[in-house]
Amino acid sequence: QMGGLAVELGLLSEEDLERASGIARRENERLGEVLCGLGLLTTDGLKDLVARHARQVLEKALPWTKGSYQFESTNEEPPWFERMPSSLSTADIILDAARAIEDPEVIAWHLGDLDRVVIPSAAAAVEGTACRLTAFDGFVLSRADGQLTAREIMSVVPKDTDDVLRALFGLMCIGFVRYGRER
């Protein structure tokens, strides 16, 4: 799928992708390593492509409202793309995916009961510089003071309700805020 994204973005031709894919299968190597080895992508270009691909996967997964998830811990060596430092933080990728959700019902489903108090996490102060919060995200975050409910934050932030909920959802996804008690 990452190769198809590279073609879609104009980073590779179909022919280059077919050639690199054939080598990757024959040599049992990762496609990204082959693309860099052939000079079709730079290491920075590959990092950007991996980040875009991760964002695309999350954009498709976040709107799901049904399903089950399971984490299985392994002692396996992490794949090459997990070892490769990204130009974007994980929080940036998650925020971008949350911002891309257009259906307000999906966001409302994920947020659930809006009459719960929104509490900032200590991580927000420490990690806030490690991701690209928009000014609007920062404004919404500043209203999450541990006193206001999500519904009250919606009423005090002078912007479209869907935008406020989307920002709250993104901030919750990256762990900068969480729900507390119901009021």
Q: What is the pLDDT of residue 115?
A: 94
For residue 79, what pLDDT band results from cuts at 50, 70 and 90? low
Q: What is the pLDDT of residue 61?
A: 75
pLDDT at 84 over 60: no
pLDDT at 45 over 60: yes
pLDDT at 69 over 80: no
Q: What is the pLDDT of residue 86?
A: 54
Sign of CA dihedral 91, 132, 2, 49: negative
What tens digit of pLDDT does each residue of 110-131 get? 899 999 999 998 766 555 556 8
**CA angle 102–158–121, rounded 5-degree value:** 75
Q: What is the pLDDT of residue 121?
A: 87
Distance CA 96, CA 173 (A): 11
Nearest C-alpha neighbor of 89 from the set 30, 43, 35, 129: 129
For the whole model, what pTM was predicted? 0.63
Q: What is the pLDDT of residue 87?
A: 58
For residue 47, what pLDDT band results from cuts at 50, 70 and 90? confident
17-26, 92-101, 120-129, 157-166: which has the minimum mean pLDDT?
A: 120-129
For residues 126 and 51, the model is more confident at 51
Distance CA 173, CA 10 (A): 31
For residues 40 and 94, the model is more confident at 40
Nearest C-alpha neighbor of 54 from the set 36, 81, 35: 81
Q: What is the pLDDT of residue 155?
A: 95
- Which two tokens mark 176? 């900068």
Q: What is the pLDDT of residue 102?
A: 85
Nearest C-alpha neighbor of 169 from the set 93, 98, 100: 98
pLDDT at 2 over 60: yes
